């Protein structure tokens, strides 16, 4: 119990660069641990670490941690992959527009390709990881509709017709999107073309509604 509390509080301490690099390397290893509970705990640790060290961690270590998170999007354990998406959302709030655009385009390219009817589990999980990545992009911009968002939401709308767990990931994204944009729903809808909104509605209609 004491050791767990000690580890929990470590993320709130200020470390020297050498110490932070050592921690980053260890975290990279534990995100690949055989025990999924360990992988999940590591992602939670990374979330707090990034919050606490957002202005002190150098770009190299930041990139190393982000790559660990991107890899975790492909985790076979659903809980870990979902945690990775939430962790990526935190990262996206601290990166430049160019880096965010590169990641977004990478995910969008995968999500925009419809799965064949006989898609195996590997193909499904690969697309699921990209959907979780786009979800992080959308949810890192609550209350706003950046110029890139209609295209992303449209792709997620089409993806909502894909099998599990892709469908569930899109439902979560659309539910959160509705929740954060409901106070300006008319303006939000105006940011989309008629065709885009029809395709986005494929996902909106399947998601729990927060609109009254």
- The answer to whether the CB of 56 falls within 8 A of the CB of 14 is yes
- Report the C-alpha gap between 80 and 71 in whole angstroms: 11
Q: Is the N-terminal amide bond of 45 cis, ω within 30° of 0?
A: no
pLDDT of 16: 67
**DSSP code of residue 192:** S
Under 8 Å CB-to-CB from 35, ≥6 apart: which residues? none
**106-156, pLDDT tens digit by residue?**
999 999 999 999 999 999 999 999 999 999 999 999 999 999 999 999 999
Estimate the share of the chain in helix, then strand, then coil, as percent rounded to the nearest 5.
70, 0, 30
Structure tokens that stand for 172 in this block? 């979560």
| Confidence label for 212 from pLDDT (cuts 50, 70 and 90) | very low
Residues 6+ apart with CB under 8 A from 20: 53, 56, 57, 61
Stretch among 8-12, 41-45, 168-172, 173-177 having the lowest mean pLDDT: 8-12
Dihedral sign for Cα 150, 64, 52, 9, please: positive
Task: Find the DSSP H helices in 17-120.
Answer: 17-30, 36-53, 59-72, 78-92, 97-111
- How does pLDDT run across 104-120, given as a tens digit for each residue? 999 999 999 999 999 99
Residue with the bigger pLDDT between 157 and 52: it is 157
Nearest Cα to Cα of residue 95 among 176, 119, 87, 181: 87
pLDDT category at 31 given cuts 50, 70, 90 is: very high
Place of tokens 């979780």: 132
Q: Mean pLDDT, the chain, as a whole number?
A: 88
- Any idea which of 23-27, 32-36, 92-96, 99-103 has the lowest mean pLDDT? 92-96
């Amino acid at each position: 119990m004491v050791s767990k509390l000690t580890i929990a509080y470590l993320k709130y301490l200020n470390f020297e660069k050498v110490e932070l690099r050592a921690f980053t390397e260890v975290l990279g290893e534990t995100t690949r641990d055989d025990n999924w509970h360990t992988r999940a705990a590591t992602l939670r640790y990374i979330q707090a670490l990034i919050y606490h060290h957002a202005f002190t961690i150098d770009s190299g270590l930041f990139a190393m941690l982000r790559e660990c998170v991107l890899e975790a999007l492909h985790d076979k354990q659903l809980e870990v992959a979902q945690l990775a998406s939430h962790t990526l959302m935190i990262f996206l709030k601290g990166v430049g527009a160019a880096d965010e655009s590169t990641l977004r385009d990478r995910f969008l390219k995968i999500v925009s390709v419809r799965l064949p009817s006989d898609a195996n589990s590997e193909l499904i999980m690969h697309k699921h990881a990209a959907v979780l990545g786009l979800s992080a992009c959308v949810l890192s911009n609550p209350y706003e509709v950046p110029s890139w968002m209609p295209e992303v939401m449209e792709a997620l709308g089409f993806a909502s017709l894909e099998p599990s767990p892709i469908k569930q990931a899109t439902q979560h994204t659309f539910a959160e999107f509705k929740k954060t944009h409901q106070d300006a729903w008319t303006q939000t809808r105006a940011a989309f073309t008629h065709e885009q909104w029809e395709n986005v509605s494929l996902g909106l209609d399947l998601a729990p509604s927060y609109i009254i």
